[in-house]
Chains A and B, each alone.
Chain A
Amino acid sequence: MENLSFEESLEKLEEIVNKLENGDVPLDDAIEEFKKAMDLVKICNDKLNDAEESIAKIVKDNGEIVEFNSSQ
């Protein structure tokens, strides 16, 4: 589950929420799904709170990637 992209995690989370809200899920299964959902919430939040600020980089013609500096 850790390998899911943010979008996949979010989609999976939505799917579980809808299932639990609409479906007639037996309690044991519901608890199982709930645990999964909480893991997904954590994965999503971790990704959203990724402290590293996005960095703009410039790709040179030779494929080398360097930090982008607009004054260049």
Chain B
Amino acid sequence: MEDKTFTVSEINKYINRILKGDPNLKNIQIKGEISNYKTFPSGHSYFTLKDETSQIPAVFFKFNKDRFLDFEPENGMKVIIKGKIEVYENDGKYQLYVTKIQKDGIGDLFARFEQLKKDLDKEGLFKDTHKKEIPKYPQRIGVVTAQTGAAIRDIITTIKRRYPICEILVFSTLVQGSQAAPQIVRQIKHAQEFNIDTLIVGRGGGSIEDLWPFNEEIVAREIYACKIPVISAVGHEIDFTIADFVADKRAATPTAAAELAVPSIQEVKNNVDQLSNRINKSIEDKLLENKTKLEYISQKNVLKNPETIYEIKGMRLDSLISRLDFSSKNIISQNRTRLFKLENSIVLKKPEEIIKAKREAYLKNFNKLEVLNPLLTLKRGYTMAKSGDKVISSAKDVKVGDEIDIEFNDGTVNTRVI
């Protein structure tokens, strides 16, 4: 074989046969970082998989991409690739034929999630005080999600069933892959121009990579800045994304988001009916109350027999008159009594008696006087000597020769003292 001369094709084919014969290389798993990723019009993609010191060319055929790829590979992305290694004989190089690409570094994603959550929390983006209230009776609901898929269907079905008088505006966006976050941000901005009451932002369930756009900082900040109340609806019950923390309300699923966004129309109708009943009852009560009051008042004697008003007034007048009468009569009678007393006084009625009494008194006094009358003494034989008119009561009052009168009971004798 030492003298055999190979053509280039032959040697490449030979090497290829050796590689293909190695079972390890037939089904191999390699991890590395994507670089120089390029997709050609054929749909095939070519890139280089590398680590710090080494690299290997890789090809990803459209056929495999369509079947196994659920995200868009990017340069710098850490991946785990399944495939085989063969020689591309035309170029004389061995390369990795990719059948499936998986993102590596899920641990890194968790770390990023935790870090961002911590940072935004510290910044205050999750604060309850910033959360807006979800309108109770929205007229227009906006939904930022993929226009195909279960999420939008669930939301529309639920809203139509619960609250069919509400309008739904869909703002379609990619919900996974590297282009999703900027599109979600753009559609949240766009939705704010349409007079929407509540905005639902979300998607159905998926892997952590699938949900990743809802963990992106730009999405979180856009939800925070949104003027419309936002309900997040990402994935399933157990999935929590940054969007959930920053949204005004978190719904576990898209269906739950729709239930939070609109009331049940039946409940609202019942509520209105109840209010209507209450208002009817209260006005009936009010009327009844007033009617009862009116009846009570109209039962009162005054209204039933208005003349009693006059009767009462009349009675009062009578009473006043009678009092007036009484007191005037009293005055008159008092005066009359006085007059009567005066009229009946003895002075006026029998003046002669007074005269008689006076006379008797006089005579009594007179008799007393008579006892003292000297003339009466003379009668009993005594005489009285007088000088002129003066009674001589002492012998010393006369001298010899004095002319004196001696008065007797029955006359006077002029004599001279000897």
- Using CB atoms and an 8 Å cutoff, list the residues of chain A in contact with chain B: 5-7, 10, 13-14, 16-17, 20-21, 25, 27, 30-31, 34, 37-38, 41, 44-45, 47-48, 50, 52-59, 61, 63, 65, 68, 70, 72
* Contact assessment for A21 and B278 in the assembled complex, using a CB-CB cutoff below 8 Å: yes
Partner of A13, one of B193, B275, B287: B275
Given contacts A20-B279, A20-B283, A21-B282, contact A57 B272 (CB under 8 A): no
Question: In the assembled complex, how far is the CB of residue A24 from the closest CB belonging to chain B, in whole angstroms?
Answer: 10
Using Cβ atoms and an 8 Å threshold, which residues of chain A touch B271? 10
Using Cβ atoms and an 8 Å threshold, which residues of chain B touch A34? 279, 283
23 contacts between A and B (CB under 8 A): A7-B135, A10-B268, A10-B275, A13-B272, A13-B279, A16-B279, A17-B275, A20-B283, A27-B290, A30-B286, A34-B283, A37-B276, A48-B265, A53-B160, A54-B160, A54-B166, A57-B168, A57-B170, A58-B147, A58-B171, A68-B170, A70-B148, A70-B153
- Using CB atoms and an 8 Å cutoff, list the residues of chain B in contact with chain A: 135-137, 139, 147-148, 152-153, 156, 159-160, 163-172, 190-191, 193-194, 265, 268-269, 271-272, 275-276, 278-279, 282-283, 286-287, 290
Question: In the assembled complex, how far is the CB of residue A31 from the closest CB belonging to chain B, in whole angstroms?
Answer: 7
Using Cβ atoms and an 8 Å threshold, which residues of chain A touch B268? 10, 48
Using Cβ atoms and an 8 Å threshold, which residues of chain B touch A27? 286-287, 290
* Contact assessment for B272 and A41 in the assembled complex, using a CB-CB cutoff below 8 Å: yes
A37 vs B137: C-alpha distance in the bound complex, in angstroms?
A: 19
* Contact assessment for A59 and B170 in the assembled complex, using a CB-CB cutoff below 8 Å: yes
Using Cβ atoms and an 8 Å threshold, which residues of chain B touch A57? 167-170
Partner of A7, one of B137, B159, B191, B282: B137
A65 vs B136: C-alpha distance in the bound complex, in angstroms?
A: 25
* Contact assessment for A65 and B283 in the assembled complex, using a CB-CB cutoff below 8 Å: no
Using Cβ atoms and an 8 Å threshold, which residues of chain B touch A10? 137, 268, 271-272, 275
The dominant DSSP class at the A interface is: helix
A62 vs B342: C-alpha distance in the bound complex, in angstroms?
A: 130
* Contact assessment for A48 and B168 in the assembled complex, using a CB-CB cutoff below 8 Å: no
Using Cβ atoms and an 8 Å threshold, which residues of chain B touch A31? 283
Among residues of B, the one whose C-beta sits closest to the C-beta of A14 is B275
Given contacts A14-B275, A70-B153, A72-B147, contact A58 B167 (CB under 8 A): no
* Contact assessment for B167 and A30 in the assembled complex, using a CB-CB cutoff below 8 Å: no
Using Cβ atoms and an 8 Å threshold, which residues of chain B touch A38? 276, 279
Using Cβ atoms and an 8 Å threshold, which residues of chain A touch B152? 70
A43 vs B311: C-alpha distance in the bound complex, in angstroms?
A: 57
**Cβ-closest 4 pairs across A and B:** A56-B168, A20-B282, A34-B283, A58-B170
A59 vs B152: C-alpha distance in the bound complex, in angstroms?
A: 14
A27 vs B226: C-alpha distance in the bound complex, in angstroms?
A: 48
* Contact assessment for A54 and B286 in the assembled complex, using a CB-CB cutoff below 8 Å: no
A33 vs B304: C-alpha distance in the bound complex, in angstroms?
A: 33
A34 vs B172: C-alpha distance in the bound complex, in angstroms?
A: 47
A72 vs B146: C-alpha distance in the bound complex, in angstroms?
A: 11
* New A-B contacts (12) at CB < 8 Å, excluding given A27-B290, A45-B272, A54-B166: A6-B139, A7-B135, A7-B137, A17-B279, A17-B282, A34-B283, A47-B165, A48-B272, A54-B167, A59-B191, A70-B152, A70-B153
Question: In the assembled complex, how far is the CB of residue B350 from the closest CB belonging to chain A, in whole angstroms?
Answer: 85
